[in-house]
Amino acid sequence: MENPLQLKCLNHVSLLCRSIEKSVDFYQDILGFFPIKRPGSFDFSGAWLFSYGVGIHLLQSENPESMPEIRRINPKDNHISFQCQCDSMGTLEKKLKELNIEYVKGTVEEGGIRVDQLFFHDPDGNMIELCNCDNLPVIPLPLDSIQSCSQTNRNVRLQQQLQAQKIEHPVQI
């Protein structure tokens, strides 16, 4: 498996905030993150939170008034996606309504598989997605379906990695 930078996993996502307090409350109370110790040597305001194997580092904006306006919810915009473990996305939708959080629903259907999505903003306009994404399998693309050389090279590497994993962990029948 090719890993030139010797990456191990996603460690954290850093987000610029208008108000650390409002953002901490949101990520704790709505998304279930918990505060963790942040190095005291930093000379700027912020907070670190952790859950689901990833950190959220909240950084206080030096000029909150100059931060971009919160735009309308657009599922095609940058976002962080959380896979949910609920029986019904309707339950999550009901909870968002109770919390007065504006959201947009989305659905992806492919080969009889359906993925439901809910998109909403944190207090600073960073978009969050909740989904039952585990319904959708990860399937490497065939080489002939790629037009771009750079994408082809990436897919060749991905197929080699997946093939190597199959060899390392053969399925017993």
State whether residue 13 is helix, strand or coil: strand
pLDDT at 1: 59
Residues making up the chain, counted from first to last: 173
With beta carbons less than 8 A apart as the criterion, state whether 73 and 127 touch.
yes
DSSP 49: E
Cα dist. 62→47, 67, 83, 86, 123 in Å?
A: 15, 10, 32, 38, 16
Residue 27 has pLDDT above 70, yes or no: yes
Instruction: Give the residue from 5, 24, 7 showing the smallest Cα distance to 15.
Output: 24
Residue 102 among the catalytic residues: no
User: What is the C-alpha to C-alpha distance for residues 63 and 88, in angstroms, rounded to an integer?
Assistant: 40
Instruction: Give the residue from 68, 43, 52 showing the smallest Cα distance to 121.
Output: 68
Phi-psi region for residue 125, left (φ > 0), alpha (ψ -120 to 50) or beta? left
Q: Each residue of 71-89: pLDDT tens digit?
A: 999 999 999 999 998 878 9
Q: Which of 65, 102, 129, 168 is catalytic?
A: 129
- Could you tell me the pTM of the whole model? 0.79
Task: Decide which of 160 and 32 is more confident.
Answer: 32
Instruction: Give the residue from 146, 144, 149, 143 showing the smallest Cα distance to 163.
Output: 143
Q: Each residue of 149-160: pLDDT tens digit?
A: 455 556 566 666
Percent of the chain at pLDDT > 90 equals 70
With beta carbons less than 8 A apart as the criterion, state whether 114 and 164 touch.
no
pLDDT at 145: 60
Region 94-119: mean pLDDT is 94
Task: Decide which of 2 and 30 is more confident.
Answer: 30
User: What is the C-alpha to C-alpha distance for residues 159 and 173, in angstroms, rounded to an integer?
Assistant: 22
